Amino acid sequence: MSPPVSTMPLPAVLQGWAPWLAWFKPELVAELGPLLIRLHPLLGRFKGQHQGGPDEPDGVGDLRRKGAYERLLSTEWLLATELPDEFLRRAASSEHLFLAPRLQARSADKLVVAILDTGPWQLGAPRLAQLALWILLARRAVDAGGELRWGSLQRPGHWFTAGSPEDLKRFLSARCFDSADTGHWSQWSDWLAAHADGMGECWLVGHETDAARRTASPPTHAAQLRRGLSGDSLDASLRAGAAVRTLQLPLPTPDAGALLLKGRFQSDAPSAAPQAIRSDKLSLRFAPIIAAQGHRVAVPLLDERGAMVFQVLPGVDPKRHRPQRQNWSKGFQPLAAAFFGKVFGGLLSGPGHLQFWQMAEMGKQARPAREVFEAPPGRGALLPLLWGREGNKRGAYVIDAADRLVF
């Protein structure tokens, strides 16, 4: 997938990477740009494992008067046996018919694969160079008419695309504390042989690449990245076939490097704290529940697990007594509800049990059989409920769907 077109103004030398640099804050582009400019010449020209070359035959196209005699029609060979003079005459006057093969153009392999060492030797400064290589290889693949697929060396068989800021953040968060070894590359090479059709280039980016080069299926390209002895630069060594190029790269400032490594490269758009979307729309399906004194009314919410409780007090400023939203637990459905004094509670249907919601000291109990308590969830009306205290005991009475009074 190609990145979106950028509209961010850039120096002419960086315009080639504008679609990717558009993801970054301007101050980080100034830090990342020198890495791209210095590394880009080291990559060399794109050269897939199988290049486009002469056209290949693909079946039979038509018949022609000229061609190689191994493609002469079989009927023409019959003349050579039965009428040799006619065969020679037709040959002299170019009257023989030959099979003309249909030719198909050979296309180069355009898939670019990057396997990056995400272990402890590549933490810190080398990861910044990996970030620059990630962008360079993504553009390299797009320019060749293909795409970049990348994966962590320590996680064989898991690869990803490189067409969005989310892909880049996934790369930056791919860290582990296992050092790379030859076994990791062997697993990757076996997996790529089975899944990476049309692979043109395979890049291995990490601390140790010599061992991988000696394997049965070495990568076509390799990059070794190490922090320089001075501490303020990075030593890069890139190999393409037998050609090896080395370079010292400048490092971004510590503050910019920290932001890049943390994946905080995009502009910080101000946004409100995430909140659950609440409609507070009242349901017309259920009748309101009115307290005995008439000072409180509860109305279930539409398509939500809860109710709005209103206080109806004469002579009181409504701004000081705003409606209260009261929610029951997810996965429960209301069967019955009522007020007990100022408290609004109800009987809820849960998975295999009944829950006494906001009914103190009652908790839950196993759901009775339908012969004892007929109360299917999802009814169009709530069941009548009376609950309260009698002495030291609390209890609830419900008239179920079969018009039975159940305690």
Contact between residue 92 and residue 195 where contact means Cβ atoms under 8 Å apart: no
Per-residue pLDDT of 72-90, as tens digits, reads: 887 788 888 888 888 888 8
Q: Tell me: pLDDT of 150 over 90.
A: yes
pLDDT digits (tens, 9 = 90+) for 109-119: 688 999 999 98
Q: What is the mean pLDDT of residues 140-148?
A: 88
- Contact at 8 Å (CB) between 348 and 333? yes
Report the b/e string of 354-387 with b at 16+ CB within 10 A.
bbbbebeebeeeebeeeeebebeeeeeebbebeb
pLDDT band of residue 389 (cuts 50, 70, 90) is confident
Inform me whether the pLDDT recorded for 217 exceeds 80: no
Q: Residues 172-206: pLDDT tens digits? A: 999 888 888 888 888 998 999 888 877 888 999 98
Output the CA angle 188-192-197, nearest 5 degrees: 170
The count of residues in the chain is 407
Mean pLDDT, range 101-116, rounded to an integer: 72
Contacts of 174 (CB under 8 A, 6+ apart): 116, 118, 152, 155
Higher per-residue pLDDT: 59 or 285: 285
Structure confidence at residue 166 as a pLDDT band (50, 70, 90): very high
Q: What are 311-344's pLDDT values in tens digits?
A: 876 666 666 677 888 888 777 888 888 888 888 8
Is residue 135 predicted with pLDDT exceeding 70? yes
Q: Give dist(CA 277, CA 281) in Å, integer.
A: 12
pLDDT band for position 269 (cuts 50, 70, 90): very low
The predicted-structure confidence for 3-24, as pLDDT tens digits, reads as follows 444 444 778 889 889 899 999 9
Give the max Cα distance, the chain: 128
Distance (Å, rounded) from C-alpha 330 to C-alpha 125? 47
Q: What is the pLDDT of residue 300?
A: 85
Tens of pLDDT, residue by residue over 225-243, are: 888 776 678 888 888 877 8
Within 251-339, where are the H helices? 254-261
Q: Render pLDDT for 239-267 as a digit per residue (tens, 0 to 9).
A: 887 788 898 888 888 888 889 988 888 86
The pLDDT, as a whole number, for residue 212 is 65
d(CA 124, CA 167): 19
Q: Strands 199-206 and 221-227, how do they pair?
A: parallel
Residue 403 clears pLDDT 50, i.e. is over it = yes
Kindly state the tokens that stand for 230. 């001075």
Mean of pLDDT values over 368-373: 86
Question: What is the pLDDT confidence band of residue 271, given thresholds at 50, 70 and 90?
Answer: very low
Pair 260, 269: CB distance under 8 Å: no
Confidence of residue 284 (pLDDT cuts 50, 70, 90): confident
Which pLDDT value is given to residue 170? Answer: 92
- Contact partners, residue 90, CB within 8 Å, separation at least 6: 76, 79, 96
According to DSSP, the residues that pair with 235 across neighbouring strands are 226, 248
> For the sheet containing 385-390, what is the strand order?
385-390, 393-399, 405-406
Residue 279 has pLDDT above 70, yes or no: no
Contact indicator for 77, 69 with CB cutoff of 8 Å: no
- Sign, Cα dihedral of 365, 371, 373, 376: positive
Strand pairing of 111-116 and 199-206? parallel
